[in-house]
Amino acid sequence: MATNPTPARRKRREAAVPLVIRSLAGLTLLILLAPMVIVILAGLNSGDHLSFPPEGLSFRWIIAFLNSDIFLPAYGFSLVVALITMVFSTILGTTISIFLVRTRFVGREFMRAFFMSPLMLPGIVLGLALYLFYISSGIGLIRTIPGLIVGHILVTCPYVIGTVSAALVGFDTSLEEAARSLGAGRLQTFRKITLPVIAPGIVAGSVFSFIVSFGQFDVSLFLTPPNSTPLPMALYISLRYTFEPTAAAAGIFAIFLVVVSMLITAKLTNLKRLANVNFS
């Protein structure tokens, strides 16, 4: 059974990391957090225009966002699309991962590269390709919500495939064999043995897909229905024509959603790991 390292052992491990590496890591973290701090302060600006540093601090534009007939519906639309995308991406990505990791056949690596290719393609290229495909095929998905969700699934599914595949690579298949020898069926073995072990990878991949879908702009630009506007597009239109702090206030709520998602993921992942340790 795996055990958690003692505080003294953790301190020795931290001391073994060179100071330069830790300094670079801290600097990188500050660079990554700086844009979020700027957006938050700009959203709390008491002035009439989007600016940094803010003229003062106020909840004026937070209230404006909550009463907006543009940003609030866009936020809700992006949230619904991201949730639907997360569900489908998690199911498809997990299924594909199990197939690619557990099956040996000619062309497996090519198929893996094919499924992961949306990560390498620019979003503009992928969105334009889907737009032209919808037009030429005549399948009725052009500028529809289902067509938009399909585009988001193509973009986000590789994240689930990557995290679940990583969880499956180190999986001890003898646990499944033991369960099967004791009379468990395939579905019961997967539900009782495999799923709890790879659950951290599934949870991480699903949250990544949710976050990427929520902030997806390139694909949404080509596939969004006429009467619906995702939050990224609403922010783009606002910053292009009005440049008021309401866009930054909307960004605050988007950042809050992402942070909450990551905290929930970290908590659930740790619980699952503890459950796996106790089971083994």
Structural domains in the chain, CATH included, are 63-279 (1.10.3720.10)
Distance CA 120, CA 84 (A): 23
CB 39, CB 49: distance < 8 Å: no
Tens of pLDDT, residue by residue over 60-113, are 888 989 998 889 999 999 999 999 999 999 999 999 998 888 888 888 888 888
Percent of the chain with pLDDT over 70: 89
Whole-model pTM: value is 0.82
Which tens digit of pLDDT belongs to each residue from 228-276?
889 999 988 888 887 778 888 898 899 888 888 888 777 766 544 544 4
What end-to-end distance do the CA atoms of the chain give, in Å?
7
Q: What is the pLDDT of residue 241?
A: 80
Question: 148, 185, 37, 166: which is closest to 94 by C-alpha?
Answer: 166
Mean pLDDT of 203-225: 91
Is 164 buried (19+), middle (13-18) or exposed (0-12) by CB count in 10 A?
Answer: buried
The residue type of 83 is L
The three-state secondary structure class of 198 is helix
Q: Determine the Cα–Cα distance for residues 140 and 90; give it in Å rounded to an integer.
A: 25
